[in-house]
Amino acid sequence: MKAVRVHSYGKRPSVDEIPDPRLTGPLDVLVQVGAAGLCRTDLHIVEGQWADKSGVQLPYVIGHENAGWVREVGSAVTNVAPGDAVILHPLVTCGLCRPCRAGDDVHCENSKFPGIDTDGGMAEYLVTNARAVVKLADGLEPAAVAALADAGLTAYHAVRKAVPLLYPGTTCVVIGAGGLGHIGVQCLLAMTATRVVVVDPSPGARELATSLGAHEVFADTSELHDSAHVVLDFVGEQGAEKEGLAVTRRAGSYFVIGYGGSIDIPTIDLISTERNIIGNLVGSYNDLAELMTLAAQGSVKLHTKTYPLAAVNEAMDDLEAGRLQGRGILVP
């Protein structure tokens, strides 16, 4: 099969011909990849930011936002069958550890993360397990939802955590309306009564946010300091993290979703203002199932641009240069 593989950090990946993956366990599921989302994390992987954390051996296949069709299942799989259209939770989890049994499978003690620490889905086929597959409702196609497997799931997870804080009359500032942020805006509007304010320097991103229903949009945060009950920072680098904290009002909460930067704040400033800094990873299987309900209802839609698998580096160039509005989708 054809697959996008990283051979050396600091160099763009190549499209290689490699053997098809095979089932090895009774709970394995072989999926024909219908679409794989391109994430900024993929750029960070290529840059080498994940090298120490993932410990993966090069070369390997990237791609952690995947959807497609079941082609083969292990002997113990009962929740899906060949032919089913599915979206894949990004983690392959054990189901036996305490976090899994508590429904917090994103912190599974024995997980694998295809595309991060093992072969991923920017390929024609991918093996996952029965715990990772969510059947798609009729009418949902893999290419339309693939990026919800991580970008959407991460955005939804953050919004779901913030919902108790976003009662009517509150303000939520969303920093960045790109691949994650435009999904977060839709989740906020579907799940809360808060006033949604979007900050993004890109005119295209601001236009997209307005079309999705954001109540106000700004190019920067100069008019917003100390105004937000909740800030959802989908950028997390290049100064956005400093602006995000400055926008957060007393007793407010700053949710860090994008990453790459750093936070430096005197502890007395946190104590005196009682602001909260909250980290966010990808969401759970239940989060993904709930997000798929919103997608089936039409409450959350991805703004995408599709590329053939062979054009992965063109897609990466577009993402890195800011030419890509919404989410890039690679279609094998």
pLDDT number for residue 259: 87
Sign of the torsion angle spanned by Cα atoms 132, 135, 140, 142: positive
**pLDDT band at 67; cut points 50, 70, 90:** very high
**Which of 159-168, 179-188, 208-217, 317-326 shows the lowest per-residue confidence on average (mean pLDDT)?**
317-326
pLDDT number for residue 53: 85
* Model pLDDT for residues 130-145, shown as the tens digit of each residue: 999 999 999 999 999 9
* Model pLDDT for residues 77-120, shown as the tens digit of each residue: 999 999 999 999 999 999 999 999 999 999 999 999 999 999 99
DSSP string, 19-60: PPP---STTEEEEEEEEEEE-HHHHHHHHTTTHHHH-PPSSE
Instruction: Please list the residues that pair with 308 across neighbouring strands.
Output: 331
99 prior amide bond cis, ω within 30: no
Per-residue pLDDT for 23 more than 90?
yes
Q: What DSSP state is assigned to residue 112?
A: B
**Which of 14-18, 191-195, 261-265 shows the lowest per-residue confidence on average (mean pLDDT)?**
261-265
H-helix segments, 164-217: 181-191, 203-212
Mean pLDDT of 214-222: 97
pLDDT number for residue 179: 84
Q: Which residues of 260-292 are buried (b: 16+ CB within 10 A; e: fewer)?
A: bbeeeeeeeeeeebebebbebebbbbebbebbb
d(CA 8, CA 232): 33
**pLDDT band at 276; cut points 50, 70, 90:** very high
User: Which phi and psi angles does 25 have, rounded to 5°?
Assistant: -135, 165
pLDDT number for residue 178: 87
Share the mean pLDDT of the chain.
95
pLDDT number for residue 181: 94
Per-residue pLDDT for 324 more than 90?
no
Measured distance between the N- and C-terminal CA atoms of the chain, rounded to whole angstroms = 10
Domains of the chain: 2-150+282-331 (3.90.180.10), 153-279 (3.40.50.720)
Amino acid at 4: V
**pLDDT band at 10; cut points 50, 70, 90:** very high
pLDDT number for residue 327: 87
d(CA 172, CA 229): 6
**pLDDT band at 303; cut points 50, 70, 90:** confident
Mean pLDDT of 33-45: 94
User: Which phi and psi angles does 241 have, rounded to 5°?
Assistant: -65, -35
Closest C-alpha among 316, 317, 315, 298 to residue 307 = 315
Percentage with pLDDT > 90 across the chain? 91
Global pTM? 0.90
Q: Both tokens of residue 44?
A: 């960070």
Q: Both tokens of residue 132?
A: 């990772």
User: Which phi and psi angles does 261 have, rounded to 5°?
Assistant: -100, -155
Amino acid at 245: L
- The helix-helix angle for 181-191 and 203-212 (nearest 10°) equals 20
Q: Which helix (H) or strand (E) holds 127?
A: strand 125-129
* Model pLDDT for residues 151-198, shown as the tens digit of each residue: 899 999 999 999 999 999 999 999 999 888 999 999 999 999 999 999
